[in-house]
Structure 1
Amino acid sequence: MDETLKMFKALTDANAISGHEKEARDVMEKYITPYADKVYTDNLGSLIAEKTGNANGPKVMIAGHLDEIGFMVTRIDKDGFIYFQTIGGWWSQVMLAQRVTIMTRKGNVTGVIGSKPPHILSAKERNKTVEIKDMFIDVGAMNKEEAEEFGIRPGDSVVPYFEFVPLKNEKMLLAKAWDNRIGCAIAIEVLKRLQDEQHPNTVYGVGTVQEEVGLRGARTSAHAIKPDIAFAVDVGVAGDTPGVSDKEADSKLGEGPQIILYDASAISHKGLRDLVIEVADEKEIPYQYSSIPGGGTDSGTIHLTANGVPSVSITIATRYIHSHAAILHRDDFENAVKLFVEVIKRLDYDTVKRLILA
């Protein structure tokens, strides 16, 4: 496994739901610190790595979010079964019988989201989706007291369990939490590759917190940085699986990063978007267009910071997002990094001023 794959594994295997991002933040800090002049956090816990090319140039923010979707323990019943609140957006059909990790003050506890066996389901139950409020986690406790002895208590984080693995086609990578550790990986790699490049600005590689519950860390980190230009880096919807029509999603794995035209939280800044496309065409870096009418990215709060920040979201087409495991293509990571490096090299003050007025 090469160094990039080791970084992917460390990032995605880390357990870090919204509001409890420490494990992922520690991994990102380890990998990004060698390439930054300064690394610090805001008061909500977002990680900010600062690399200066020209201290008098514009500030460029590249934000991927640290948090993943998961659950939070809300109560333990008398028989030792765990009930929970979802953290982030879940579809109930991808949850039953899935393994989870409960992060307790005494260490991690393994559990499974319980389900009835088909042998005892009525015809009506077979045709009905189980509601999330009726689900529970089985940790093997015989009663409430034993579950509490394991260290479990309300408020504990519950994280989907899955280990990173390259598939037989080694460019296809399967893991939990690609949403959005791939954005964090891109921020790390961009700072790494800028080590040997001249850039007329200061670049901030950021791992934001609590994106999945309202783009919250992007707001606080953007206030700390006060960027002139910003990019949100996230996953996007892949449309290359059975049952997905071109009208729903037409992006394909391996055909380049997605340039987001519109999402529910932000319209991409036209001047900045045009520059990104111009650079991609000139450097023959493949890309795809996409929009996310039913969701948002960190651009949604970053672009509203202070008197406004021209922002664009660039995403990686990913299959099966917001489930226990997702697939993306390594070439899309590589091409996204190339695109960011080339764009950043052109973001001097004159260019940024021109973009704002575009």
Structure 2
Amino acid sequence: MNNPFQREIWNRLTQAPGAAGFEGPVRDIMREYISTYTSEIVYDNLGSIFGVMRGDENGPKIMVAGHMDEVGFMVSRISDKGFISFQTLGGWWGQVLLAQRVQIVSDKGIIEGVISSIPPHVLSDDQRNRPMDIRNMYIDIGVDSRAEVERLGIRPGQQIVPVCPLQEMANPDRIMSKAWDNRYGCSLAVELAKELHERPEHPNVVYVGATVQEELSGTRGAKTAAAMIDPDLFLALDASPASDIPGVREEGGKLGSGLLMRIYDPGYVMPVGLRELLISTCEEEKIPYQYYVAKGGTDAGVVQYHGKGVPSAVIGIPSRYIHSHASIIDKKDYEAAKRLLFSVIRKLDRATWESILPR
């Protein structure tokens, strides 16, 4: 990877544990980077974090956010024999879990474990022909009693996260890791803060950072962050499922074909004026993009309802295998999203903002 700074932030952000509701380690990293570029940092009371980048105070107030949380788990019960039951945090399909490595963030540090899997030799015919229910899975940390588990500082209510290191693949543009959904958005937010620090002339005030608890129902941090910031316009930075793999209808994003222009999801329709601004910017600057109709939502679906309404859009990228242990992005898509984000922030003066409002 030829960009050491990018490699550093990608590795630190993706490898930090930060299941929904447990974003503290990711927030610490975000604060460390953002505080390098601005001394004005704000938080909501759930833990979302934003750096304030002040350009033209007469321009619109723009909120730009990834979300810090990844899909993960929570310790729910410890058996007498030391096996750990768990609650999912975010959307998991049971078939991606069996025999996968996890880490429990205990009071005494990181404890390694593996999700249960019955060997085929001892499966009944009935078990072979149906998927295992997540409620019947447990985590094995290699001990034999509840007392041993408790001595390791493990107790109900603690977070559990997948294990997958950051890794370049055979095509070096393809990068595999856990938590691209949504440490992609967190890293791009850091890069925007860096850009606005190094080139501070911009026609607006930008609140750039990340929300919490997007993966839980209600996209909770987006609500409280919008109440704190009271933005004029919102840009969500999020990763969405790629559709360029066998067995999936090719109706979404393909790795290496550009950023995702999300025009619709079940809770959101991209505002016409904002859509025209983003697409015209891509066309003028030859930034590759793909139209995307999504089945899931993002923080944009919540922020759009704040106050009298906030024009909102998603600057996204496709990622293979999100909501699993290992996901893959393409650096070219990330760079396309970064180019669009940087360009549109430079364009969004008050007149441009007013021009996209429905009047």
> With structure 1 as the length reference, what TM-score do the two structures score?
0.97
216, 226, 231: which is aligned to 1:227?
231
1:186 paired to 2:188: yes
205, 210, 213: which is aligned to 1:210?
213
- TM-superposed CA distance for 1:31, in Å, is 2.0
> With structure 2 as the length reference, what TM-score do the two structures score?
0.96
Look up the match of 1:75: 77
Separation (CA, whole Å) in 1 of partners of 2:329 and 2:57? 36
Separation (CA, whole Å) in 2 of partners of 1:331 and 1:36? 28
Look up the match of 2:315: 314
Look up the match of 1:18: 20
Look up the match of 1:240: 244
Look up the match of 1:330: 331
- TM-superposed CA distance for 1:187, in Å, is 1.1
Look up the match of 2:340: 339
Q: Deviations over 1:84-116 (max 9, x none)?
A: 110000000000100111111111111110111
Separation (CA, whole Å) in 1 of partners of 2:33 and 2:257? 27
1:159 paired to 2:161: yes
Alignment check: 8 A CA contact 2:14 2:178 kept: yes
Look up the match of 1:171: 173
Look up the match of 1:140: 142
Cα RMSD of the aligned pairs, angstroms, is 1.2
Alignment check: 8 A CA contact 2:315 2:341 kept: no
Structure 1 residues 260 and 343, CA gap change in structure 2 (3 angstroms): same
Look up the match of 2:285: 283
46, 49, 53: which is aligned to 1:47?
49
Q: Deviations over 1:304-328 (max 9, x none)?
A: 1111100011211000000001000
- TM-superposed CA distance for 1:193, in Å, is 2.0
User: Tell me, what secondary structure is at the counterpart of 1:168?
Assistant: coil
- TM-superposed CA distance for 1:191, in Å, is 2.2
- TM-superposed CA distance for 1:297, in Å, is 0.2
Aligned AA for 1:253? L
Look up the match of 2:96: 94
Separation (CA, whole Å) in 2 of partners of 1:135 and 1:73? 12
- TM-superposed CA distance for 1:168, in Å, is 2.5
1:348 paired to 2:352: no
- TM-superposed CA distance for 1:138, in Å, is 0.5
Look up the match of 1:38: 40
User: Tell me, what secondary structure is at the counterpart of 2:245?
Assistant: coil
Alignment check: 8 A CA contact 1:81 1:137 kept: yes
264, 268, 274: which is aligned to 2:266?
264
- TM-superposed CA distance for 1:197, in Å, is 5.4
Separation (CA, whole Å) in 1 of partners of 2:324 and 2:204? 38
Look up the match of 1:301: 302
Structure 1 runs (4+) deviating above 6 angstroms are none
Q: Deviations over 1:209-233 (max 9, x none)?
A: 0000021111111111111011111
Aligned AA for 1:329? D
Separation (CA, whole Å) in 2 of partners of 1:22 and 1:271? 37
113, 116, 130: which is aligned to 2:115?
113
User: Tell me, what secondary structure is at the counterpart of 1:345?
Assistant: helix
Separation (CA, whole Å) in 2 of partners of 1:341 and 1:28? 19
Which runs of 5 or more structure 2 residues have no equivalent in the other structure? none
Look up the match of 1:200: 203
Aligned AA for 1:303? Q
Separation (CA, whole Å) in 1 of partners of 2:55 and 2:170? 40
Separation (CA, whole Å) in 1 of partners of 2:224 and 2:90? 19
> % of aligned pairs identical?
46
- TM-superposed CA distance for 1:271, in Å, is 0.8
Look up the match of 2:358: 357
Aligned AA for 1:292? A
Aligned AA for 2:179? A
Q: Deviations over 1:69-97 (max 9, x none)?
A: 01111111111100011000000000010
